C-alpha cells in the first residue's frame, strides 16, 4: 500500500516535470544560437593580489559559477533583434496594408532604412533598385516588394570572408587575435565569450591583458579567463600595453598554446597619441614568436553611423581584418552592418546579442536580414 502511494506520487512528479520542460522548449524553439547559460557578470571579479606578471589558471578552479542543471534553450535571433525589427515593422505594415505598390510604399521603406542607419547612399541605391523592378513589372505585389528588398540586402552582404583566420603552424608560434575599439563597446566581453567558444572547440588559448589603463580591466579579463579555464598574462597598472602583449605571446609560445587573445584599452579614435600606441602594439606583437592573424574592431551597434567614423580611423591605425558588432540586441540601428561592409569593405564576422557567454554568434547575412523582415 505504502509503496503504491509512493509510486503514484513519483509518477505525478515525472509527468508534471515533463510538461514543464516541453512548455519551456516550445516557447523558446526555433533558435540557431548556441545554448546559453546564465553567468556571473564580468564586472564583479574575485579579489586578486596584484604585482605578478603571469598568473596560472589551473583547470581545477576554472569555473566561477557552477553551471545550472537545467540548460534553458536560448532566445532566437528574431527575438534578440526585436528592437532592430521594430524599426522595419511600421514600414512593413504600411506596405502590406495597401492593395498595390504606391509612392508611399517606397517612402515607408526609405524612412525605415534611414532610421536603421543603413546610410543615405545605400538606401538611395536600394530604393532606386526597387523602383526599377516595379517599373519594369518584375515586382507587382506588396509582399514581392519586401521580398525583393530583403533579397537585395542579403545579396549586398554575400561573398565576404567571415571566417576568423587561424593559421596552424609550428608549435611555439601562436596565432594572435587583437581586439580594438573605443571605450565600452564590448571588447573584453567579446574576448571572454570567444575564448570559451575556442576552448570548447579544442584550441588552447591564453589571454593577454593589454588594457593596462585601469586595474579593473585586468580583473575583468581574469574573471573570463577563470571561466574558460585559461591562463592570463597581465601587467602592472600603467605598464606598456605592447610589452604585456609581447610577454603573453612569448608565454603562449613557450607552452605551445594555439591562440593568444589580446585585449587593449578602449580609446577614442580621435586621439592621435592613443592610435599611435595601437600601431606600436601591433608592431611589437608581430616581433616575437606569434603571428597576428586577426585584428578585430569591436563596434557598438547602438552608436549607428558613428561606428563608421570609428572604423575608418581604426583601419587607418591598424590593419583591421574584421568587425565584431556588439549590443545588436539593444539596437534599432542594425543597418550599420551595410554601411561598414559596403562603404569600408570590412567584413562583420561576429555579432553580440547579449551579455552572457552564449551571446556571441557568427554573422549570417540571410539569417540577419530575415530576422529584420519577419512579420
Ligand atoms: N546587451 C549587450 N551588452 C553587451 C554586449 N557586449 C558587451 N556588452 C556589455 O557592454 C558593457 C561593456 O563591455 P566591456 O566588454 O567591458 O567593453 P570594453 O570595450 O572592454 O570596455 P573598455 O575596456 O572600458 O573600453 C558590459 O556591461 C557588457 O556586458 C552585447 O552584445 N549586448
Ligand atoms: Mg575592456
Q: Which atom of ligand 1 is nearest to the CA of 217?
A: 23
pLDDT tens digits, one per residue of 75-112: 677 888 888 888 899 999 999 999 999 999 999 999 99
268 lines ligand 1 (CB under 6 A): no
User: Which domain-ending residue is among 156, 183, 216?
Assistant: 156
187 lines ligand 1 (CB under 6 A): yes
Q: How far is the CA of 189 from the centre of ligand 1 (A)?
A: 6
354 lines ligand 1 (CB under 6 A): yes
User: Which domain-ending residue is among 107, 133, 156?
Assistant: 156
Residue closest via CA to ligand 1's atom 10 equals 186
Q: How far is the CA of 193 from the centre of ligand 2 (A)?
A: 13
pLDDT at 58: 37
**Which of 38, 74, 184 for a ligand 1 pocket mutation test, highest count of atoms within 8 Å of Cβ?**
184
pLDDT at 42: 38
Residue 38 inside a domain? The answer is: no
pLDDT band at 41 (very low <50, low <70, confident <90, very high): very low
Q: How far is the CA of 279 from the centre of ligand 1 (A)?
A: 23
Q: Which atom of ligand 1 is nearest to the CA of 266?
A: 25
Split into its structural domains, the chain has a count of 2
pLDDT, greater one: 10 or 297: 297
- Looking at the fold, whether 111 and 231 belong to one and the same domain comes out as no
Cα Rg of the chain, angstroms: 24
117 lines ligand 1 (CB under 6 A): no
**Which of 191, 329, 355 for a ligand 1 pocket mutation test, highest count of atoms within 8 Å of Cβ?**
355
Q: Assess whether pLDDT exceeds 50 at residue 3.
A: yes
Residue 2 inside a domain? The answer is: no
Q: Assess whether pLDDT exceeds 80 at residue 22.
A: no
Which residue range is the domain that position 281 belongs to?
54-63+163-373
217 lines ligand 1 (CB under 6 A): yes
Q: Which ligand is nearest to the CA of 267?
A: 1
Q: Assess whether pLDDT exceeds 60 at residue 38.
A: no
Residue 119 inside a domain? The answer is: yes
Q: Rounded to two decimals, what is the model's pTM?
A: 0.81
- Looking at the fold, whether 140 and 224 belong to one and the same domain comes out as no
- Looking at the fold, whether 271 and 327 belong to one and the same domain comes out as yes
pLDDT tens digits, one per residue of 226-254: 999 999 999 988 899 999 999 999 999 99
User: Which domain-ending residue is among 113, 131, 156?
Assistant: 156
pLDDT at 5: 56
* Lookup: cell for 166: 587561424
Amino acid at each position: 500500500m505504502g509503496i503504491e502511494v509512493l509510486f503514484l506520487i513519483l509518477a505525478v512528479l515525472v509527468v508534471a516535470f515533463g510538461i514543464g520542460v516541453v512548455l519551456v522548449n516550445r516557447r523558446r524553439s526555433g533558435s540557431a544560437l548556441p545554448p546559453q547559460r546564465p553567468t556571473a557578470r564580468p564586472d564583479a571579479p574575485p579579489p586578486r593580489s596584484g604585482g605578478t606578471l603571469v598568473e596560472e589558471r589551473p583547470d581545477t578552479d576554472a569555473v566561477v559559477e557552477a553551471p545550472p542543471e537545467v540548460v534553458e534553450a536560448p532566445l532566437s535571433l528574431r527575438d534578440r533583434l526585436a528592437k532592430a525589427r521594430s524599426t522595419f515593422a511600421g514600414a512593413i505594415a504600411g506596405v502590406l496594408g495597401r492593395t498595390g505598390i504606391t509612392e508611399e510604399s517606397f517612402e515607408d521603406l526609405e524612412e525605415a532604412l534611414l532610421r536603421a542607419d543603413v546610410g543615405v547612399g545605400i538606401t538611395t541605391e536600394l530604393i532606386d533598385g526597387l523602383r526599377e523592378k516595379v517599373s519594369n513589372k518584375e515586382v507587382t505585389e506588396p509582399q514581392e516588394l519586401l521580398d525583393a528588398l530583403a533579397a537585395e540586402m542579403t545579396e549586398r552582404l554575400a561573398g565576404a570572408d567571415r571566417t576568423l583566420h587561424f593559421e596552424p603552424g609550428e608549435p611555439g608560434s601562436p596565432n594572435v587575435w587583437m581586439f580594438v575599439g573605443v571605450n565600452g563597446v564590448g571588447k573584453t566581453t567579446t574576448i571572454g565569450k570567444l575564448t570559451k567558444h575556442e576552448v570548447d572547440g579544442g584550441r588552447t588559448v591564453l589571454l593577454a591583458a593589454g588594457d593596462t589603463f585601469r586595474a579593473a580591466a585586468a580583473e575583468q579579463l581574469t574573471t573570463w579567463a577563470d571561466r574558460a579555464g585559461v591562463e592570463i598574462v597581465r601587467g602592472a597598472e600603467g605598464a606598456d600595453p605592447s610589452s604585456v602583449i609581447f610577454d603573453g605571446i612569448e608565454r603562449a609560445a613557450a607552452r605551445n598554446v594555439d591562440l593568444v587573445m589580446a585585449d587593449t584599452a578602449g580609446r577614442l579614435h580621435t586621439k592621435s597619441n592613443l592610435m599611435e600606441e595601437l600601431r606600436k602594439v601591433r608592431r611589437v606583437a608581430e616581433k616575437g614568436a606569434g603571428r597576428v592573424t586577426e585584428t578585430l574592431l569591436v563596434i557598438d551597434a547602438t552608436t549607428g553611423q558613428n561606428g563608421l567614423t570609428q572604423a575608418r580611423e581604426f583601419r587607418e591605425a591598424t590593419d583591421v581584418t574584421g568587425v565584431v558588432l556588439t549590443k545588436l540586441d539593444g539596437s534599432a540601428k542594425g543597418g550599420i552592418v551595410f554601411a561598414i561592409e559596403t562603404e569600408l569593405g570590412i567584413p562583420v564576422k561576429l555579432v553580440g546579442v547579449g551579455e552572457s557567454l552564449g551571446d556571441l554568434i557568427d554573422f549570417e547575412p540571410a539569417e540577419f536580414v530575415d530576422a529584420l523582415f519577419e512579420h
